[in-house]
Structure 1
Amino acid sequence: MEDKRTARIRAADADRERVATTVQTAGSEGRLTLEEVEERLAHVYSARFTDELTELTADLPRPVPARPGFPLTRAALRRYPALRLHLAVVVAIAVVAIVRWAVLGAGFFWPAFPMFWLAVSLFVHAGVRSARERAGAAVPY
């Protein structure tokens, strides 16, 4: 049977920083008083083992994992040039279709159909990129 002292795992700096962030967040949310935050942070930075860190946040709620948001955002367009290019092509084709419709004087607004499918292709592209990013895969585009 293993001795409890030999089964303990040493805490890394990253572990301490993660717990310190949790304690500071709880303090900013009003779950802990300023004195409790200071006391717990002192214990966090003096902790040598991970079980000591676990005890400091046992009474705090676990953070809710972030839900995936809308995949087509301004930040995504800045990060991924292929997505920006796709958007530019969609807009250009839509403008050409609308101008052609206006010039020909057709009564029925037929550009709605190609514009719908162009928008679907753009959202699928953004969704696939977002899913790959969440999965941790390298996203070259």
Structure 2
Amino acid sequence: MSVEPSPVRASDADRERVVARLTSAVGDGTLTLAEVEERQALAYGARFRHELPPLTADLPAPPAPRGRRPPVRAFVPVAVLLLVVLWVVSPVPFPWPVFPLAFIALRVSSAGGRRRWGAGT
């Protein structure tokens, strides 16, 4: 006794996800151009969702997304507090945290400038 897949219609977004995965497989060298063209035609012609997974079943799993690093500015208050506490506890009377704090200020200002100019504004 065979179980028929549920007849849920495929959306354009479903088809585009499959085509994007197939296109990245060409870039990785997993599929040839002829194979991708054939599978893309089948993806765009698919009417139901159960027709799409077989098109990418033999491809390796896509890489997991990498976590986003917190911005540099998130560490500034912690670094400033730590340097001031170390200066108060240390026996050195000269305000030596000025040098690391200047480096941190330079780093934060340069990171902000790259982000702003890199965004095209």
Same fold, TM exceeding 0.5?
Answer: yes
The code of the aligned residue for 1:35 comes to: A
Distance in 2 of aligned mates of 1:19 and 1:94:
50
Q: How does 1:44-59 map to 2 (within 5 A)?
A: 44-59=43-58
Residue 87 of structure 2 aligns with which residue?
99
The code of the aligned residue for 2:53 comes to: T
Q: Cα deviation per residue 1:66-113 (whole Å; 9 max; x = unaligned)? A: 4x64x7x2xx227xxxx72xx2221112221333315259xxxxxxxx
Q: What RMSD, in angstroms, separates the aligned Cα atoms of the two structures?
A: 2.9
Distance in 1 of aligned mates of 2:4 and 2:85:
73
Identity of aligned residues (%): 41
Are 1:77 and 2:71 an aligned pair? yes
Q: How many residues align?
A: 92
Distance in 2 of aligned mates of 1:60 and 1:54:
10
Normalization by structure 1: what TM-score?
Answer: 0.53
Gaps of 5+ in 1: 106-141
Residue 25 of structure 1 aligns with which residue?
24
Distance 1:102 1:21, change over 3 A: farther
Gaps of 5+ in 2: 95-121
Distance in 2 of aligned mates of 1:63 and 1:99:
49
